[in-house]
Chains A and B, each alone.
Chain A
Amino acid sequence: MVDAARQPLIEVKAYTEVERVEGFVGNFKVTLREKAKYVRADRCNGCAACAKACPVEVPNYFEMNLAPRKAAYIPMSQSVPLIYNIDMDACIHCYKCVEACGALEAIDFSMEDKMVEEEIGAIVVATGFGHFDPTPMTEYGYGRFPNVITAMEMERLNNSAGPTRGSLMRPSDSKSLRRLAIINCVGSRDKRYNSACSNFCCMYAIKNALLLKQMIPEMDISIYYIDIRTPSKGYEEFYDRAREAGIKFIQGRPAGITEDPDSHQLFIKSEDITLGRVVEHEYDMVMLNQAAIPQPDQNHMSSVLNVAQSPGGWYMEYHPKLRPMDSPTDGIFFAGACQGPKDIPASVAQGSAAAARASRILHSDTWQIEPTVAVVWEDRCVSGKGQACGICERACPYGAIDYTKGISAEVITAKCHGCGACVGECPHDSITQLHYTDAQVLAQIRTLLAVEPEKKILAFRCQWCSYGGADLAGTSHFEYSANERGLRVMCSARMDADLIYEAYRLGAGAVLFSGCHPQDCHYITGQIAGAKRAARLDKMFARMGMNPARFRTEWISAAEGDKYARVINEMQAALDAIPQDELKAEIERLKPEMEKKLSKLNQIPGVEEAMIQVDFIVSEMQNKAVPV
């Protein structure tokens, strides 16, 4: 930290909050609030005279409130930058610090918060994690029994710079201790608080146990656990070392801690699962290994940065396996536990990767994005005509569309990732996606269904999953019906209801609506929008009296080639089961309804030209007798 602060190209902005982030990759405008320290950074030399003179004492949050600090303070002696700070909530305005500072005149009570706007190319978010407060878990008595402490308090109690100068002692009577229990999974793997595993606490418990064992070899340490998870290289050997050192591992989550009110001794009753019986042990002190949770202000920061959150509250990465350090917004990267609990090696790896990603942006003059971005036809957008709409803005998973009533919607091209969710949702067909325009997709549908449409199965596949699944079915030589006609769009959210009506209007035998599994969507929430639309269509077609075998929704991943082949074969079998004359009658019957729903489609720009092209291709194919 000290080295980083000395680097000429690194500026450390301590005691500063991010207020607002605007713009896009390479061109962020970040508004920062530089909080008033009431000590002038250019004059303070860190001599601590003000702290010595200050008569006010408040709990030091850096020492987990186990030790006091003055109202004029630095949180720890290695603070960077070494500039004192006056806590205005605690200050009693005695101005003794001003006297103590003397000729330096560094203390300035007239300072105020300053708003600074900075131009930033790339942002790396490394805000870390918060700690679960075990007070609500009354069964462990944290806050009620003085000798029940959290892992972070233990960290301070055995730290040589901590409040006890490194000698471990009980909070109740300052005596040394012989028997220590560590309880794992306090608040994690617990559906009442946080259902997720906190990843590093097993190793953390073992580390602490070994450390204390080295400090006080005669100490008796037990670790209560549900499962010990030591998944990385060298971790299992560390676990072995701990067992060899005589640390007791007890499988079984304690139901509660009781305390002897006079001696403050603690008693843990738990089922020793490996022994198969309930045992009670006495301890001098209990350490609760509490869960890692998102920072308390993570929700706020996520809206400031405009990045989404995963179900646990952590920042959501672009792709859990392939791009774990990228945020869905280009130019914002994650490092460390703010994206999900992780230990130090993983945090370092992710931080280095994020820095490399950011330097890629800083070293290039231009930034390439996917060409399949959305475009608004301004003359068609109803918002420009004064109607309230904003559907596209709500549909966009990336916040790339600006909607203001009275002005037609605007796509921020640099933010657009090209999923086409807005195109699928727009009820006025006034937004389209380059390379997947309505005209282009319609042309493909018409070409594919030019000959004998009632025998065809039209498969809408999403680019990332089901198209890959179909590809795999082909390269793996899985046989499926030759009547299948595949059509690629970027995401199941792009599969506009109009396109499906058009397929049925042309008399398609069956339509497959396929995309990624819900958790695998390439575009954050694209699959969810697609699934909703598919469910709506399913209901509508049932109401129209369509045979249920003619519309199917399936989520197929790129690894499920066999599933793709099976689904197509099942659809073919179901289609074959419908008598031909019945099917034809149904197609004829539904045609007018589909036409009614498609009334707006022919007004879309580019459709007529595309259709001329379709007619040409179809006639060519028929002339040459190419199987269509």
Chain B
Amino acid sequence: MAERPGIALFQCQWCLFSPTDQDWVDNHLPNNIYLTKTPCTGRINPLYVLNAVQGGADGVMISGCLPEQCHFVTGNITARRQLEEFNDFLNHIGYEKQRVRFVWLDLQDRGMIQKELAAFEEELKNLGRAANLVTRMKVAEGEQNA
């Protein structure tokens, strides 16, 4: 078990304006953070979050564009609504609400993603490890429907 909390990062592919930030996220993320780039935050299936939680990720971070700057008009707003509800469900089954964080990045902010990740990591450290939820079923027991 690693010392730093594991974070599953879902990033909308438009939300980082500066090439430097994008390069950092693409190539220089620390091991405890796993990046999944999606076309839009609205494209993030709650299933992904569920899988991350099941697998023992300590936190899930979703970064998208500012509300009025969504590349697909309202994708980020629908995503937040959808994931907020899903988060309530996660909370119900014992996964703290603070462990799923939705951040909106202004296009003009350079280095924001690093700061946000650092702050999130700090908070997760304070929270401790995530409760052990149902782990993944083995492939033989019917994983095909994932």
Contacts and interface: CB of A to CB of B under 8 A. Distances in A.
- Any A–B CB pair closer than 8 Å: yes
B111 A261 contact: yes
A138 B108 CA distance: 9
B121 to A, nearest CB: 18
Contact of B110 (A138, A139, A258): A258
B111 A260 contact: yes
B128 interface: no
A256 B111 contact: no
A256 B19 contact: no
B18 interface: yes
Contacts of A138: 108
A220 interface: no
B107 A259 contact: no
Nearest to B17: A258
Interface string B97-112: 0000000000111110
A256 B115 CA distance: 21
Interface in A129-163: 138-139, 141
A260 B110 contact: yes
Chain B, interface residues (CB within 8 Å), range:
10 to 19
A267 interface: yes
B68 to A, nearest CB: 12
A620 interface: no
A267 B18 contact: yes
Contact of B19 (A257, A260, A280): A280
B109 A258 contact: yes
Interface string A253-267: 000111111100001
Chain B contact surface mostly: loop
Given A258-B17, A258-B18, A280-B19, A267 B108 contact: no
Interface range, A side: 10 to 19
Nearest to A262: B111
B107 A256 contact: yes
A567 B39 CA distance: 62
Given A258-B17, A280-B19, A139 B108 contact: yes
B19 A259 contact: no
A139 B108 CA distance: 8
A267 B107 contact: no
Interface string B65-86: 0000000000000000000000
Nearest to A266: B110
Contacts of B111: 260-262
Contacts of A262: 111
Interface string B1-34: 0000000000000000111100000000000000
By CB atoms of chain B within 10 A, which of A141, A257, A259 has the most?
A259
Contacts of B18: 258, 267, 269, 280
Contacts of A257: 108
Interface in A406-432: none
Given A258-B18, A267-B18, A280-B19, A141 B108 contact: yes
Contacts of B109: 258, 261
A258 B108 contact: yes
B110 A256 contact: no
B116 to A, nearest CB: 12
B110 A261 contact: yes
Contacts of B17: 256, 258, 269
B67 to A, nearest CB: 16
Contacts of A258: 17-18, 108-110
28 contacts: A138-B108, A139-B108, A141-B108, A256-B17, A256-B107, A256-B108, A257-B108, A258-B17, A258-B18, A258-B108, A258-B109, A258-B110, A259-B108, A259-B110, A260-B110, A260-B111, A261-B109, A261-B110, A261-B111, A261-B115, A262-B111, A267-B18, A267-B20, A267-B110, A269-B17, A269-B18, A280-B18, A280-B19
Given A139-B108, A280-B18, A280-B19, 17 more contacts: A141-B108, A256-B17, A256-B108, A257-B108, A258-B17, A258-B18, A258-B108, A258-B109, A258-B110, A259-B110, A260-B110, A260-B111, A261-B111, A262-B111, A267-B18, A269-B17, A269-B18
Interface of A: 138-139, 141, 256-262, 267, 269, 280
Interface of B: 17-20, 107-111, 115
The 4 closest A-B pairs by CB, nearest first: A258-B110, A260-B110, A258-B18, A258-B108
